[in-house]
Structure 1
Amino acid sequence: MKLKLLLSSFLLISCLAAFSQEKQSNQAAEKGLIKVSVMYPYAEGKTFNMEYYETKHMPMVAGYLGANLVKYTIEKGLASGLPNQPLPFMAIGTFYIKSLSDYQAAVAPNREAIRADFANYTNVAPIILVSEVVK
């Protein structure tokens, strides 16, 4: 019985240590990347088709970015950070890229196709923030 408890404890500690190292490694790998956040503000009467955005729009844009793209994420807004306040954003799409100039070069010839696709999933003009991951 003591041996089983000891083995279980050892396995749990080993798993926690491995998870911690992986998390630190991922954070270090993202440091210095450029993050392009495309945020869709919530407003009464505005719409957003998450299924289309996830299955069509974001993969389309990701395809334009090629090897410069490290990863992308999609977030669905749920609530404001303050009680009884309106949702600030319906959705946020984020691209993690290696080079801003390569991103701009890839997006420029495809800008009209990207903008034309907006009508397929939203009637909101997005806010775009370009930043650098520092930690």
Structure 2
Amino acid sequence: MIKVSILYPGKAGSRFDVDYYLRVHMPMAARLLGSAVKAVSVEIGVSGAMPGQPAPFAAIVGFTCESPEAFTAAFLPVAGQLQGDIPNYTDIEPVIQVSEIREI
């Protein structure tokens, strides 16, 4: 199993509309990516390591899939729709990482 993580770095003066992201973008992403995605998690940044410190990331989303190929096959046909929606909720350029999930 792999996880595709999309991280939105927290930057002073940046915009991230959590309500739109959770209410509109993520349901659309789940619908468009379909059965290739086995699980979805969304984390909204609250703070850094110390109280009162800004969160390093505005949000982090994780899509769990069987393989990178499964995610790519689902994502490429709908990439334009998903990426085209980004300006509706943020001006932050996302960072993407594909990781292998290991059980401990």
With normalisation by structure 2, the TM-score equals 0.89
Q: Of Structure 1 and Structure 2, which has the larger fraction of its residues in helix?
A: 1
Q: Cα deviation per residue 1:6-33 (whole Å; 9 max; x = unaligned)?
A: xxxxxxxxxxxxxxxxxxxxxxxxxxx2
Which structure would you say has the larger RCO, counting Cα contacts within 8 Å and 6 or more residues apart? 2
Q: How does 1:22-41 map to 2 (within 5 A)?
A: 33-41=1-9
Alpha-carbon shift at residue 38 of structure 1 (Å): 0.6
The DSSP-based 3-state class of the residue aligned with 2:14 is coil
Judge conservation of contact 2:46–2:54 (CA < 8 Å) in 1.
no
Aligned twin of 1:42: 10
Aligned twin of 1:91: 59
Q: 1:64 aligns with which of 8, 26, 32?
A: 32
Aligned twin of 2:90: 122
| Identical positions, percent | 39
Letter in 2 for 1:108: L
Q: Cα deviation per residue 1:24-78 (whole Å; 9 max; x = unaligned)?
A: xxxxxxxxx2101111001111011111111111111112222221110111101
Distance 1:79 1:125 in 2: 20
Letter in 2 for 1:40: Y
Distance 1:79 1:94 in 2: 19
Distance 1:79 1:110 in 2: 33
Provide runs of 4+ in structure 1 moved above 3 Å: 82-86
* Bigger Rg, which one: 1
User: How large is the RMSD of aligned CA atoms in angstroms?
Assistant: 1.5
The DSSP-based 3-state class of the residue aligned with 2:11 is coil
The DSSP-based 3-state class of the residue aligned with 1:40 is strand
Alpha-carbon shift at residue 84 of structure 1 (Å): 6.6
Q: Of Structure 1 and Structure 2, which has the larger fraction of its residues in strand?
A: 2
Runs (5+) with no aligned partner, structure 1: 1-32
The DSSP-based 3-state class of the residue aligned with 2:79 is helix
Letter in 2 for 1:104: T
**Residues matched between the structures, number:** 103
With normalisation by structure 1, the TM-score equals 0.70
